[in-house]
């Protein structure tokens, strides 16, 4: 048994905010890709905790619906801003609009906007992988440096948290453009945490494990969502997948002043999935061995080493 069979007992899912009400009162938070999925959950959590929230993406219609939904459900302030993060001019214009609306630049930025799909790398055209790199890596750089320059010029600080993936470090077959881009984001995070701390800017990244969302999983799996989720549960030590609310809670905590000494850090939230089999050849079959099999194995090894059991 390679995974927990009773996650509800040992690893319960809690969706309520960890921080106290009003924890972000007076703060302005910008969440890119805030119209759906993880981004929407992060924006909702910030609004629920008292922040004024700006959400940004290309799809203004979807953004407007999400902003209305968040405002209604949280009683907070959430405004939509159109931004194609691949376009530096559009990024600048969106920041201008945010400043015009709220009278200041964001003190919190969450780089969540991304693009990804599963494909054999030899089938990718230059346009296909270029699009992912333009969105994920260059787009994140566009937004981050735009805010950074404004903060430096105006002597205002900010917390910047980027959403990444653990395959940025381990490698990501069949999602190579995303893996390349996420690796760049993690390097950016660690580099700017030292270069720009003197300006009051701090940088961290959150790396979620399997989090079922219709948009992302629809491009990463060919099967039905429910089947994919069950498959992922059996590949996770905790026997379950994560939730968007868990990611949002972590991002909010990392972005808060409670974590002002946290800087240049990559945090994994994946139920230890990346450590399954400890990166070794010791496979899943070992979890299925019973006492007799282990006894037999121990006797064979002792016979080969000439050591008796103490």
Domain ranges of the chain: 7-276
pLDDT band at 142 (very low <50, low <70, confident <90, very high): very high
Question: CB under 8 Å to 136, separation ≥6 — which residues?
Answer: 114, 115, 116, 177, 178, 181, 182, 185
Q: What is the pTM of this model?
A: 0.89
* Tens of pLDDT, residues 234-245: 888 888 999 999
Question: What per-residue confidence (pLDDT) applies to 213?
Answer: 78
Examine the residue annotation and report whether 167 is marked as an active-site residue of this protein. Answer: yes
Question: What per-residue confidence (pLDDT) applies to 278?
Answer: 57
Q: Of 3.30.479.30, 3.40.50.800, 3.50.50.60, 3.40.50.720, which CATH number belongs to 7-276?
A: 3.40.50.720
| Arithmetic mean of pLDDT over the chain | 90
Contact 25, 47 (CB under 8 A): no
In this structure, which long-range contacts are made by residues 8-14, counting pairs with CB atoms below 8 Å and at least 24 apart in sequence?
10/238, 11/238, 11/239, 11/240, 11/271, 13/240, 13/243, 13/245, 13/246, 14/245, 14/246
* Tens of pLDDT, residues 26-67: 999 999 999 999 999 999 999 999 999 999 999 999 999 999
Helix axes of 176-195 and 139-154: crossing angle, nearest 10 degrees: 10
Q: Which one is catalytic: 167, 203, 217, 253?
A: 167
| Positions of E strands within the chain | 28-32, 52-57, 77-82, 108-111, 158-163, 201-208, 265-269
Whether residue 1 has pLDDT greater than 80? no
Residue 226 burial (CB count, 10 A) = 9
Phi, psi of 32, deg, nearest 5 = -80, 150
Question: What per-residue confidence (pLDDT) applies to 235?
Answer: 82
């Amino acid at each position: 048994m390679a995974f927990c069979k009773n996650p509800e007992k040992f690893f319960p899912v809690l969706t309520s905010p960890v921080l106290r009400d009003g924890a972000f009162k007076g703060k302005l938070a910008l969440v890119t890709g805030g119209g759906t999925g993880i981004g929407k959950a992060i924006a909702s959590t910030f609004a629920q905790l008292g922040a004024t929230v700006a959400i940004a993406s290309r799809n203004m219609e979807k953004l407007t619906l999400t902003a209305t939904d968040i405002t209604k459900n949280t009683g907070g302030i959430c405004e939509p801003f159109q931004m194609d993060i691949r376009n530096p001019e559009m990024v600048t214009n969106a920041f201008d609009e945010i400043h015009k609306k709220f009278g200041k630049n964001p003190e919190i930025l969450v780089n969540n906007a991304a693009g990804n799909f599963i494909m054999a790398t030899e089938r990718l055209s230059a346009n296909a992988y270029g699009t992912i790199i333009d969105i994920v890596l260059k787009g994140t750089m566009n937004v981050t440096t735009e805010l950074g320059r404004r903060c430096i010029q105006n002597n205002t600080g900010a917390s910047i948290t980027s959403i990444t993936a653990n395959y940025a470090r381990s490698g990501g077959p069949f999602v190579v453009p995303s893996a390349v881009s996420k690796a760049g984001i993690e390097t950016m995070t660690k580099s700017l945490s030292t270069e720009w701390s003197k300006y009051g800017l701090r940088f961290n990244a959150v790396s979620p494990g399997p989090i079922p969302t219709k948009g992302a999983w629809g491009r990463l799996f060919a099967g039905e969502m429910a089947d994919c989720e069950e498959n992922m549960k059996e590949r996770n030590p905790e026997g379950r997948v994560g939730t968007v609310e868990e990611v949002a809670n972590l991002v909010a905590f990392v972005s808060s002043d409670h974590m002002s000494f946290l800087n240049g850090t990559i945090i994994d939230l994946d139920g230890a999935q990346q450590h399954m089999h400890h990166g070794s050849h010791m496979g899943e079959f070992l979890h299925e061995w019973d006492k007799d099999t282990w006894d037999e194995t121990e006797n064979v090894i002792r016979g080969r080493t000439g050591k008796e059991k103490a």
